[in-house]
């Protein structure tokens, strides 16, 4: 079997898997995207890499950073993706970006939110309530003592 036939077979398999995912109405759009990304990175990419190594052994033997490594390290979210994650309206996210309240990257008119920086930003803005509350001055318990 030639390498191009193997690659075409992999493409047909991926298309069939994606069609099956799209037909599943129990999944949200975000879940479908995640499953497709996982399938591409962890199932299809290793198989395609083996086929390509057979075609071009010298080109792929050098240690390079894979696309999966690059996307995992520098993932950028759209406002809609961030909206579904944070449950904050996309218009509000754009407003926060314009006010420079949330980490973002602007390329001309397009705004993207770096996932790693958003996680750090959320951690820095999270509040953990203390278990023991001290009464404020002038509360009823202190007034009764007087």
Identify the domain containing residue 112 by its residue range: 74-126
Q: Has residue 100 been placed in a domain?
A: yes
Output 62 or 104, whichever has higher pLDDT. Answer: 104
Q: How many domains does the chain have?
A: 2
Read off the pLDDT of each residue in 43-51 and give the average, rounded to a whole number: 78
Least confident interval from 15-19, 27-31, 46-50: 46-50
What rounded mean pLDDT belongs to the chain? 78
User: Considering all CA atoms of the chain, what is the largest pairwise distance in Å, rounded to the nearest integer?
Assistant: 94
Write the DSSP string, 21-73. Answer: HHH-TTS-HHHHHHHHHHIIIIIIHHHHHHHHHHH-HHHHSS----HHHHHHH
Does 134 reside within a domain? no
Answer with the residue of higher pLDDT: 144 or 134. Answer: 134
- In a shared domain, residues 121 and 58: no
User: For 59, what's the count of Cα atoms within 13 Å in the CB-facing half-sphere?
Assistant: 8
């Amino acid at each position: 079997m030639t390498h191009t036939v193997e690659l075409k077979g992999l493409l047909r398999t991926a298309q069939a898997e994606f069609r099956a995912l799209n037909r599943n109405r129990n999944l949200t759009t975000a879940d479908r995207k995640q499953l497709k990304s996982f399938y591409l990175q962890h199932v299809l990419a290793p198989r395609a890499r083996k086929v390509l190594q057979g075609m071009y052994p010298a080109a792929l033997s050098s240690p390079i950073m894979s696309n999966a490594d690059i996307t995992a390290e520098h993932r950028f979210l759209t406002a809609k993706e961030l909206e579904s994650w944070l449950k904050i309206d996309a218009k509000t996210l754009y407003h926060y970006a314009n006010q420079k309240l949330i980490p973002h990257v602007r390329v001309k008119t397009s705004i993207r939110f770096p996932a790693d920086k958003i996680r750090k930003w959320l951690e820095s803005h999270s509040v953990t309530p203390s278990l023991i509350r001290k009464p404020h001055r002038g509360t009823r318990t202190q007034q009764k003592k007087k």
